[in-house]
Structure 1
Amino acid sequence: MNDLSPETNPPGKYKAELPDADNPNLDAEEPENGDALVEFIESGIDAARERQTDVTEHTARAIARAIANALGDNGLTLGEFARTGAVSYTALSNEFLEVYNDPTTPAQVRTWIDWLGTYLVQANQEGSGWRFMINDAAPQLNRLLVATRISLGCTVSTVHIPASKTLEEVNALTRHLNALPTVGTTPFQVFLTLPDVDASANNVTDSFQDNYVGNFVSIEDALYGLVELEEWETDLHNFAAVRGILTKAVSIDHDMVEAQTREMYDLVEREGVIYAFNK
């Protein structure tokens, strides 16, 4: 295995490799050498594929141990997660994304990081819950949106970007978004917070213009503006009058109408105003 010490391999210059036999993993009950660790990881990933779920915590920690072994002092946070399982995606991402985006990283290791990163995002509820991938396909960080707090104009908002983005890329994205003419408008800022909106997409401004419907002073106002609620109520009252039914005895359930409307539109409240977007 190559020398991966910080002196000869500063951050971003190392080559990620499989672990050697001299580094421990997890605890005494788990595999402690390279071959056993690789086998443990691969069997855990195979089981996750079969279940069509994320990997288990033990598999995620084993992956972290393998990467930490390869990085040495450059992988201290990964090593902490391997020992305790208590570190978040945000804390770990700087370490494993350097490995993930290194062109010399083996495809096997990059696949491991796809599984590790996806586990962390889901387990810590740091994602949007939105995956741009086939349900039974292996996870890919660039197709999984993770919640990220950035400054937009004078406000701090939570937007969603691919989990493969590095801190440097997030900072560049923040500068790009703040340079857009629409960044100071509340509707655009609200649009960027939607869980299925990739704030880093090249067409994010066009997507906003295509999907922004309007704003309303209340949910009730939104219902009348977005669906034919007034026409439905008129039809219902006419139906009742023809049959001699008191109009006050029949009414449309607005809660059900709201639920139906939310299936067609994203409705977001901010500072007392309802903003509506096409789903």
Structure 2
Amino acid sequence: MSERQLPTPGQGEQLSCSPDRAGMPRPVQESGTPDWRRYEVAARRFGELIASGIAEAMEQKRDVDQGTARCIAHVLGRGLGRESALANFARTGEGNYEALREEYLSLHNHEEVNASTQELIDWLGVHLIRQKHPDAKSVLYVEAYPPRLDNILVPTGVEVGDWYLRVNVPGIYGAKDIQELTETLGELAVDRDVALRAYLSLPDTNAMSGDIMEDFHDCYLGVFTTFEEAIHELTEVDERERDVFTYAEDRQLVIEQMNPDYEALREEVADAFDLVEEEGRVYVFHK
């Protein structure tokens, strides 16, 4: 099925950045004061088109397509002004993720927003996150539809001391929250704690869980010199070898040497453990 297209002039509202009646582009609304009236007019006008795109996404258990995402951005952008990042994304299909995030979260978290508008923002936000991070994990074991920004983990760069870290933050959090997280990680001395950095690098670790250190200690199993040493311990290779030798001796067989298949054994432990190499050592965590 072809991508859903935004209406062109003559089919509906003009989506290009045209001047207002005074001959000047409409400015972005002041922070915290979206123009809900303009938003509601646009939402009614494009409601059927957006609903069709969402229904298709729900049926196929996927994110909305680019055309539907741009249409949602147009409707939301009407509340912020034609110079907003959302309005520009609606026109061009392009935009800076962080700038778009700050705008749609300002609407999502506004005291006057309603549930249906928040759901539209969730669809758009998750679409934009997947564009930037196709492998972003879900907080839930089974991804839910309709999607929600608080259920998707966004790989996010933070600087703590001299360290640049990639942590995972639910999509409902913006720049202010991420800055507060950075300060918390500094207080936890993550720049000096290799095991904690390894834990935070896991794609399903929620850095905003509320108690990073408790989660870390619940999951942390130990550190090893190599992957082979870690897998040897996790799969109890010595015990397996003793069982094989005993089996052979009982049948008058002689086995002189056994070589573990560490690649196969690593696949075996993958469902139960995460292994992370950090600074030349291997850190192991319970899933």
TM-score interval, normalised by the smaller of the two chains? 0.7 to 0.9
Question: 2:138 corresponds to which letter in structure 1?
Answer: W
Match of 1:61 among 45, 70, 89: 70
Q: Does 1:42 align with 2:62?
A: no
**CA–CA separation in structure 2 for the residues paired with 1:92 and 1:133:** 27
Match of 1:210 among 186, 209, 218: 218
**CA–CA separation in structure 2 for the residues paired with 1:191 and 1:251:** 31
User: Against the structure 1 CA distance between its residues 70 and 258, is the aligned structure 2 distance closer, same or farther, given a 3 Å change threshold?
Assistant: same
User: Against the structure 1 CA distance between its residues 127 and 16, is the aligned structure 2 distance closer, same or farther, given a 3 Å change threshold?
Assistant: farther
Confirm or deny: 8 A CA contact 2:272 2:286 kept in the other structure.
yes
Question: Kindly, what percent of the aligned residue pairs are identical?
Answer: 30
Confirm or deny: 8 A CA contact 1:127 1:145 kept in the other structure.
no
Q: Does 1:98 align with 2:106?
A: yes
User: Against the structure 1 CA distance between its residues 255 and 133, is the aligned structure 2 distance closer, same or farther, given a 3 Å change threshold?
Assistant: closer
Size of the aligned set, in residue pairs, is 262
**CA–CA separation in structure 1 for the residues paired with 2:99 and 2:242:** 57
Q: Does 1:10 align with 2:18?
A: no
Confirm or deny: 8 A CA contact 1:240 1:250 kept in the other structure.
no
SS of 2:271's partner is: helix
User: Against the structure 1 CA distance between its residues 161 and 50, is the aligned structure 2 distance closer, same or farther, given a 3 Å change threshold?
Assistant: same
Match of 1:147 in 2: 155
TM-score, length-scaled by structure 2: 0.82
**CA–CA separation in structure 1 for the residues paired with 2:109 and 2:141:** 20
Match of 1:264 in 2: 272
User: Aligned-pair distance for 1:168?
Assistant: 1.0
User: Aligned-pair distance for 1:211?
Assistant: 1.0
Match of 1:130 among 138, 155, 171: 138
User: Aligned-pair distance for 1:278?
Assistant: 0.5
SS of 1:137's partner is: coil
Task: Decide which moves more: 58-67 or 179-188.
Answer: 179-188
Task: Decide which moves more: 128-137 or 165-174.
Answer: 128-137
Unaligned runs of 5+ in 1: 22-32
- Deviation by residue 1:200-234 (Cα, 9 ceiling, x = unmatched): 12121111111111111101110122231111012
User: Against the structure 1 CA distance between its residues 18 and 107, is the aligned structure 2 distance closer, same or farther, given a 3 Å change threshold?
Assistant: farther
User: Against the structure 1 CA distance between its residues 223 and 34, is the aligned structure 2 distance closer, same or farther, given a 3 Å change threshold?
Assistant: closer
- Deviation by residue 1:99-119 (Cα, 9 ceiling, x = unmatched): 111111232221101001111
User: Against the structure 1 CA distance between its residues 20 and 130, is the aligned structure 2 distance closer, same or farther, given a 3 Å change threshold?
Assistant: closer
TM-score, length-scaled by structure 1: 0.84
SS of 1:160's partner is: strand
